Amino acid sequence: MIFRVEYVYWLCGLVLAACALRELRARRRAHGAFWGILAAIFLLGDAMKSIAAHGNALPEQLAGVGVIALGLIAGFLRRAPVAESTQEHERRSASAARLGHNLFVPALIIPFGTLVFTLLQPYLNVGGIAQLDRAAATLIALALACVLAAFAATALTRAHTRDAIAETGRLLDALSWAIVLPMLLAMLGAVFAATGVGEAIAHLTAAAIPVSSRLACVLAFAGGVLVFTIIMGNAFAAFPVMMAGIGLPLLIGLHHGNAAALGALGMLTGYCGTLLTPMAANFNIVPAALLELRDPNGVIRAQWPTALWLLAINLVLIWFCAFP
Amino acid sequence: MNFWPLLGVAVVVAGFALRLNPALVVVAAAIVSAMLSGLSIPDLLALLGAKFIDSRNLLVLLLTLPTIGLLERAGLREHAAAWIARMRRFTFARLLIGYLAVRQILSMLGLTGIAGHAQTVRPLLAPMAEAAAEKIDPDIDLDERERIRAFAAATDNTGLFFGEDIFIAFGAVLLIQGFYAQNGIVLDPRSIAIWALPTAIAAFIVQSVRALRMQRRLRAGRRREPESP
């Protein structure tokens, strides 16, 4: 196949490396080191994994050292002062008036390009060989659309590649460590799974409730999925643990609940937890940074009422639909 | 059963409560949990490294930044705001409810990557929502602006989460089906997805009502203003 998911990661690595060099030239060493380590992990990650598959764990251990370094440096990242002058604002407004709706074109190439490449994926094959890696088709489609959009944006705004890197650096500086938090949390989730944290929580919950009461079991199941999602930041991690600990043995086994309804509603209960937790960084903390909110929990503050309403509705649905 | 790795969870809770840097807290929790499960230092480092490498897909939104950055420099946000300000029929609530409906329907069709915080909320939805709110009350303060931007992000999350579970080829439905299959319960994915529909409808109603209430609050705020000194 022509487009492999590794190339997407290498492209990310190159962008990160360019931003790291830019920071180092501005003598911002902590920032240079932070983005540099990340660039190395993106550029060398696949090589590290293939060496580990051959029995040599050293490169992956070095990546582990890099992860610890990222955690230690993160606290030292300070945002570069941005001169937001009225002059600059007027320049942007004038440029907006000149370019008009054309400005939407590159922005819309990202979503619609992703859509087109995703839908075309089954047909993009030469000599029976798929051109897009099937397992990661959406990711590759997004990357292709982003590259197209970046070319369109440079052409439209008559910008130089240098400007594109400078603008990326500006946004990356505003996002700071928040953009890496989703990766770190995914890693933490995997470590919790590998060390049996989930089983321990399910075990303790099941031991603490009166199993003969259907209401207690429903509340323990829903509450467990919710709390565990809040801790892990990911309903996909919480669902199997609580389902194995409480759902299967008690709700389906003992109280004869409807498995399909419990599965869907249990997962959606977890999603209510995702709306409530800073651990779901890519949905809650990254957008707060992207939208330049002073309160990193601003998005959670805006969505907790939605989450609680839906939680209550889900509980009612579980009670009446899963146990007819 | 070894309960010691649970202390990793305690590290997360304590770290967030003490407002330490979240990246540092998460790395520390991973180390604590791994050490208490009895892993040696070399194995611990390899586990952290391997799992971090495996989650690279979460940073691919980085590739949207060059485009968004260039367009912002050329005035994309100013243009989106000015456009909404000119359209009288596009009220605050209609904008957000319309976006919610589109986002939820696209997610139901499995097209989750088409929108998002970097692709659509920051460059388009948030400035449009602010401009729509300014049409109601031209002097909204920074706190209110930030609440509006945060509400735009919350609307994107709600649309995504409570749409995607209806798409049968989506990870969540397949995860549920796969989990049951491993435990000897064989289910058709469609029979699972159908149970996500009532919550999806409820999510649309709840978030739409909240958008309408926010619009009403903005209108009330404008009316009160002449009285306040």
The span from the CA of A130 to the CA of B107, in Å, is 25
Alpha-carbon distances, residue B5 vs A201, A278, B13, B15, B54 (angstroms): 11, 21, 14, 16, 22
Positions of E strands within A73-186: 125-126, 129-130
For residue A72, what pLDDT band results from cuts at 50, 70 and 90?
Answer: very high
* pLDDT reading at A279 higher than 70: yes
Which chain A residues contact residue B17 at CB under 8 A? Answer: none
CB pairs under 8 A between A and B: 437
**What phi, psi does A242 have (nearest 5°)?**
-70, -30
Q: What is the pLDDT of residues A233-252, one digit of tens each?
A: 888 888 888 888 888 888 99
Contacts of B172 in chain A (CB under 8 A): 235-236, 267
Return the pLDDT at B228. Answer: 46
Instruction: For chain B of 229 residues, list the mean pLDDT of each consecutive stretch of 10.
Output: 85 86 92 92 94 89 90 89 85 95 87 82 92 90 94 96 77 82 85 91 97 93 57
Secondary structure in 3-state letters for chain B? CCCHHHHHHHHHHHHHHCCCCHHHHHHHHHHHHHHHCCCCHHHHHHHHHHHHHHCHHHHHHHHHHHHHHHHHHCCHHHHHHHHHHHCCCCCHHHHHHHHHHHHHHHHHCCCHHHCCHHHHHHHHHHHHHHHHHHHHCCCCCHHHHHHHHHHHHHHHHHHHHHHHCCCCCCHHHHHHHHHHHHCCCCCCHHHHHHHHHHHHHHHHHHHHHHHHHHHHHHHHHHHHHHHCC
Residue pair A33/A75 in contact (Cβ under 8 Å)? The answer is no
Please measure the distance between the N-terminal and C-terminal CA atoms of chain B and give it in whole angstroms. Answer: 65
Q: Which residues of A touch B162 (CB under 8 A)?
A: 268, 271, 310
Using CA coordinates, name the residue in chain A closest to B208.
A306
pLDDT at A134: 62
Interface touch A239/B48, C-beta < 8 Å: no
- E strands present in chain A: 125-126, 129-130
A-interface mutation test, from B7, B59, B124, B210, most A Cβ less than 10 A away: B59
Residue B81 is predicted with a pLDDT of: 87
**Position A223, amino acid:** G
């990193």: which residue's tokens?
Answer: A296
pLDDT band at A260 (very low <50, low <70, confident <90, very high): very high
CA distance B32 to A179: 23
**CB B12 to CB A188 under 8 A?**
yes
pLDDT at A71: 95
d(CA B130, CA B123): 12
Average pLDDT over residues A279-303: 92
Which of A166, A263, A285 lies at the smallest CB-CB distance from B192?
A: A263
CA triple B224-B225-B227, angle to 5 deg: 75
Mean pLDDT of A248-275: 93
Choose among B119, B154, B192: nearest Cβ to A299.
Answer: B154
Q: Give the Cα separation of A21 and B82 in Å (integer).
A: 37
- Judged by CB atoms closer than 8 Å, whether chains meet at B63 and A310 is answered as no
**Confidence at A128, pLDDT banded by 50, 70, 90:** low
Whether A291 sits inside 8 A of B151 (CB atoms) is no
Q: Point out which residues pair with A132 in neighbouring strands.
A: A3
B114/A285 touch (CB, cutoff 8 Å), yes or no: no
> Looking at this protein, which amino acid is placed at residue A15?
V
pTM above 0.80, yes or no: yes
For A179, which of B34, B59, B124 is closest by C-beta distance? Answer: B59
pLDDT band of A135, cuts 50, 70, 90:
low
Distance between CA atoms of residues A290 and B126, nearest Å: 10
Q: What pLDDT does residue A129 have?
A: 64
Which of B3, B124, B194 is opposite residue A107, by nearest beta carbon?
B124
A82-91 average pLDDT score = 76
pLDDT digits (tens, 9 = 90+) for A77-86: 887 776 667 7
Q: Output the pLDDT for position B184.
A: 86
- How many degrees, rounded to 5, is the angle at CA A268 between CA A267 and CA A273? 95
Chain A residues with CB-CB distance to B111 below 8 A: 115, 118
CB-based contact B67:A114 (threshold 8 Å): no
User: Residue B64: how many CA atoms within 13 Å on its side-chain side?
Assistant: 29
Residue A259 to chain B, least CA–CA distance (Å): 8
Residue A289: pLDDT over 50: yes
Across the interface, of B49, B74, B203, the residue whose CB is closest to A60 is B49
Which residues in chain B have their CB less than 8 angstroms from residue A295's CB? 146
Asked if the Cβ–Cβ distance from A142 to B122 is below 8 Å, we say no
pLDDT band at A90, cuts 50/70/90?
confident
pLDDT of residue B57: 85
Structure tokens at B198: 């009532």
Chain B interface, best mutation among A16, A95, A110, A204, by max B CB count within 10 A:
A110
Picking from A103, A139, A187, the nearest residue to B52 by CB comes out as A187
Report pLDDT for B84: 86
DSSP A188-252: HHHHHHHTTHHHHHHHHHHHHS-TT-HHHHHHHHHHHHHHHHHHHS-HHHHHHHHIIIIIIIIII
Q: How many CB atoms within 10 Å of residue B82? A: 16
